[in-house]
Structures are given as C-alpha cells and as structure tokens.
C-alpha cells in the first residue's frame, strides 16, 4: 500500500479531508474505508477503472448519497453532507461531463440562475442586475464570454466556462471536474486546461476525474488511484509516470495489456491518393493492407478524424479512394457500408448508436435485411438470437437485450457500437477514439478485438489520442499535423519510443 504525501504545511492548506468513507449498495460494498484529501490551489486527479468507486466517492461529497459512513472535514470543520443543495451552499460544486446549462438562456442568465432579483415595483426581472453581476464574475475569471449571448450558440468548452462561472460566483472552494475533456476538440481542451490552471492559481481546490491518463501530467499536481472500491495510493504526478498509474489501477503495467500481433500485412485493400478537404486537410495519400493496423496520430484538431470521416463518406472531400481496386465515387456512409467499410465514430452518443433504443435493436440495425426471411419478414426469434450472440461475443454488461443503450456505461455503449459493425462483417474498419472515456479493463478487450480482426485479414485504421494505443497496436503510424501528412513511423513501438511519437507530433507543430 502506497502512502499519502503528508506534511504539516500541506495539512494546513487542506480544504477537504474524507476519512474512512464506506458506502454499500444492497449489500455490495462500493467504497471500503477510502481516504481522500484536496488542498487549496491544487488539482488532485482521481482515477480508476469503471466501477472502482470514483463516481460513488464524488457523489458522497456532492450530497447525492447521505447514507455513507466515515468522516468529512471541509474547510476546517467536520460536516455531514446530506444533499446537493447543502454541498453547493458549503462551497462544493461538480462540473459533470453532461453539462447542466440551459441553451435557451443567455450567458448571464445561466450564471445567475437561482439568484435573480426583481424590480421592487414592477416585480419584473432586474436584467441590469443579472447582467452586471454575471459580468463581474466573467471579468474576475478572465473568461472570453459575452454575457448577452445565448448559451446554445457556444462551443462545449465555453458552455463549461459558463457553468464554472456560475459555480465560482457562489464562492465555491472546491470544484470537481468529471471527464471534462471527453467531448472536447483540441483548442477547447487547451482552453479548459488554462481555465483550470487559472482557478488553481486563485486558490480553489480541484478534483479532476479522467480516463485519459496522458493528460494528467499537464494539469494535475497529485493523483489518487481507486481499485475495487479501495484506495490503492496517492502520489505526486511528477513522480508517477503513466505506466505507474496504470500499474496502480490494474495491478500490472499498461503495456502488458496490449496483445502480441504476429500476422504480417497482405495485399493492398484500400488506396487513398490526394485526399483533401478545404480548411481541414490536404493531399493525404497512403495504402492500407489486409491484416494491417494503420495508426493515425496527431494532436487534437490536427485533422485526423476529418480524414477518417472523408474516407467513410461522412464528409465531402476531393481525391481518390480505391477499395479493392475499384474507385469509390460519390462516397456516402451507406455506400461505404454496402461496399464493406465500417466506422466506429469518435462521438458515440451522437453518431455511434441510438441511445433511446434497446441493446438488441442497436446490434441488429446494420443487418436487418440479412436477418429478414424470403418475404422480408423480420423474425423476432432470429433477431433475438443474433443480438444475443453479439452480446456474448462483446461481453456487454448487463447482458439484457431490452436494456436501453443510454442506460449502459460508456464502455458497454462502445461494445454495442463495435458489435453492430462486426455484424456487418466489414473488410475495412475505422476506429476513431475507440477507447475514449472507458476503463482500462474494457480497453484491453477492444485491443484484443482489433488485433483479432487484423489476424482475420481485415484492414484497420486506428485513431486515438492515447498515443500508447497507436504505438503498441499499429504496424505503421501516420503523423498528421495541420491537416498534412508529416511523417510515417514503423510500428509497433517499444515503451521507450512512445515518448518519441508524442514528441514527433509536437515537433511537427512547433517547427512545421
């Protein structure tokens, strides 16, 4: 068991101390004597696989679970948090991945929501007061926000700033960020990181939850790891490389999760020449072979996802795309699917599945014509049998066909999307951020699946922000910067070369 980084000076700066926290659900222990602390002016990362207890611990802190055992000391005083309203009043706010801003209201109205003032005589909202108070908060934080703009017109990162401003205005002392970068692009991620650093400089205590271990050294000071509801340890991030974080989470090093790839790529199956889309990417050319995993690496916003979408036909582009020797003119997702090209998209909630439909319906939707009888009749039994086989193959939890996809965890939603494409039996499969927002255990399943698909002779294109995934799984790696192909690297890479891949992406931007 690793020990906390304790010292008297740090204890004096502590804004939150949770000791011996226990939480049970129907006889199952979700948190087992967990200790956790946060200091003023610190970003404390909280990591672990899905089900490790991160969300449960933060829900105890946010007042969502009042039936916990243990002690909480906040701002120097013992407290018993029993409701979200109490937590917010004390100075604790959570910025969830699903933001709670109201798109039909202005920036100022969102920031001041719940604390509006009416004119004493007319009883109408005092919009001057609302705007002035919101503007004071915006200026204090240094945010580039127009108080009069509709929130629905803002990017996700700026909507996050609006929610942060609303929390800071209420004089919060502790902010919790739950997977804040999961749905952000490159520029938005950088903007959010700067906001977090500014908040830290103002003395706020910050808890940062993320599955993206590679971003923690850029934003965090310390990291605490939970596994199976128990605390594994707390370390200074500067002394804890990503490999050590993964070892604490899994019990072994992350690189050991990647399966060995022994097959050799075969003949060319997909040829791309001079692929361009104005303002996004230009003159992209490469070949993809049977049994090959082709990695596409680059910083967020480099154009890598746009290249994949253009090949699949989701976005318009110019240039030549040949599949099995035949030019694909007027590419569309429907034509690509019929030809044997599939794509697991970056945004699984908006593009990858139908959240309001069941697991069974999502798994069958891409091959309904194949499952139909001679007269076009959809046999419920045939549909259920196929969906059940895919649930077993992908190890979807819970294994119930009737479960709505939106009620699944992020990792199980991803399994459903991949299972749906496997049912279509594509010859080429594009994975864009296939492990985004899922735990390492589920990631390992995806890694094994990618290698198995390649061994079956399929061509795989893999795009990921986690460069260790690209480096370990890809036979070749294309480095993209500013929308252009900057470099090609032979893979798979050794552990020591992953940092080289990251530096190649950064250098190409700095010196391009």
Q: What is the CATH number of the domain that holds 472?
A: 3.40.50.300
pLDDT(11) > 90: no
The pLDDT value given to residue 254:
61
Largest CA distance in the chain: 80
The pLDDT value given to residue 512:
39
pLDDT digits (tens, 9 = 90+) for 114-143: 878 787 777 788 888 999 999 999 888 888
Residues 122 and 216 in one domain: yes
pLDDT(261) > 90: no
Domain with 64, as residue range(s), is 8-249
C-alpha distances out from residue 86 to 154, 222, 234, Å: 30, 27, 28
Of 215, 249, 283, the one marking the end of a domain is 249
Distance CA 256, CA 335 (A): 38
C-alpha distances out from residue 503 to 191, 497, 500, 508, Å: 21, 10, 5, 8
**Listed range (82-86, 350-354, 442-446) with the worst mean pLDDT:** 350-354
- Under 8 Å between Cβ of 49 and 441: yes
Residues 196 and 310 in one domain: no
Q: β-strand 77-79 against 69-74: which pairing, if any?
A: antiparallel
Distance CA 307, CA 479 (A): 12
- Tell me, yes or no, whether 151 lies in a domain: yes
- Tell me, yes or no, whether 255 lies in a domain: no
The pLDDT value given to residue 366:
66
Distance CA 375, CA 362 (A): 23
Most confident of 8-12, 136-140, 275-279, 336-340: 275-279
Residues 78 and 220 in one domain: yes
> If you average pLDDT over every residue of the chain, what do you get?
85
Query: Which neighbouring-strand residues pair with 236?
Result: 222
Place of tokens 């909507």: 159
pLDDT digits (tens, 9 = 90+) for 481-512: 889 999 999 989 887 787 788 777 766 434 33
pLDDT(100) > 80: yes
Specify the DSSP class assigned to residue 372. B
Residues 186 and 330 in one domain: no
Band (pLDDT 50/70/90 cuts) for residue 374 is: low
Measured between alpha carbons, how far apart are the two ends of the chain, in Å?
A: 46
Domain count, the chain: 2
Residues 67 and 106 in one domain: yes
| pTM exceeding the 0.85 threshold for the entire prediction | no
Distance CA 449, CA 244 (A): 25
pLDDT(370) > 80: no
What does the pLDDT average to over 413-425?
84
Q: At what angle do helices 410-423 and 440-455 cross, to 10 degrees?
A: 10
């Amino acid at each position: 068991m690793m020990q906390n980084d304790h010292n008297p000076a740090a204890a004096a700066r502590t804004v939150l101390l949770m000791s011996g926290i226990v939480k049970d659900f129907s006889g199952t222990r979700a948190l087992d004597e967990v200790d956790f602390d946060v200091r003023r002016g610190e970003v404390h990362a909280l990591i672990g696989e899905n089900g490790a207890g991160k969300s449960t611990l933060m829900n105890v802190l946010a007042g969502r679970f009042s039936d916990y055992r243990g002690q909480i000391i906040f701002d120097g005083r013992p407290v018993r948090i029993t409701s979200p309203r109490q937590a917010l009043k004390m100075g604790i706010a959570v910025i969830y991945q699903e933001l709670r801003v109201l798109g039909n209201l202005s920036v100022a109205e969102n920031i001041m929501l719940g604390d509006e003032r009416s004119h004493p005589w007319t009883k109408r909202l005092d919009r001057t007061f609302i705007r002035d108070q919101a503007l004071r908060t915006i200026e204090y934080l240094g945010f580039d926000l127009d108080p009069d703009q509709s929130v629905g017109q803002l990017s996700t990162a700026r909507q996050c700033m609006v929610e942060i401003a609303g929390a800071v205005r209420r004089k919060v002392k502790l902010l919790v960020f739950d997977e804040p970068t999961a749905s952000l692009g490159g520029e938005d991620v950088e903007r959010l990181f700067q906001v977090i650093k500014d908040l830290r400089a103002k003395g706020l205590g910050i808890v940062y939850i993320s599955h993206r271990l590679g971003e923690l050294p850029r934003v965090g000071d310390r990291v605490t790891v939970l596994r199976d509801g128990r605390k594994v340890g707390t370390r200074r991030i500067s002394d804890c490389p990503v490999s050590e974080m993964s070892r604490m989470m899994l019990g072994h090093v992350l690189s050991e999760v990647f399966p060995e790839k022994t097959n050799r790529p075969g003949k060319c199956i997909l040829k791309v020449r001079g692929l361009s889309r104005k303002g996004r990417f230009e003159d992209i050319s490469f070949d993809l072979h049977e049994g090959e995993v082709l990695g596409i690496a680059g910083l967020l916003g480099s154009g890598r996802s746009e290249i994949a979408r253009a090949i699949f036909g989701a976005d318009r582009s110019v240039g030549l795309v040949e599949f099995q020797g035949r030019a694909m003119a007027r590419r569309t997702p429907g034509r690509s699917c019929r030809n044997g090209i599939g794509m697991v998209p970056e945004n699984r909630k908006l593009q990858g599945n139908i959240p309001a439909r069941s697991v069974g319906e999502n798994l069958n939707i891409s091959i309904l014509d194949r499952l139909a009888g001679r007269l076009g009749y959809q046999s419920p039994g045939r549909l259920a049998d196929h969906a059940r086989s895919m649930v077993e193959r992908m190890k979807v939890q819970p294994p119930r066909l009737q479960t709505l996809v939106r009620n699944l965890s992020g990792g199980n939603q991803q399994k459903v999307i991949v299972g749906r494409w496997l049912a279509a039996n594509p010859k080429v499969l594009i994975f864009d951020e296939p492990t985004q927002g899922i735990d390492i255990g589920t990631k390992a399943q995806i890694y094994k699946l990618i290698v198995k698909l390649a061994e079956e002779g399929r061509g795989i294109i893999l795009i990921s922000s986690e460069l260790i995934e690209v480096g370990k799984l890809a036979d070749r790696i294309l480095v993209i910067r500013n929308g252009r192909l900057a470099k090609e690297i032979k893979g798979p890479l050794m552990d020591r070369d992953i940092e080289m891949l990251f530096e190649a992406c950064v250098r190409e931007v700095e010196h391009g």
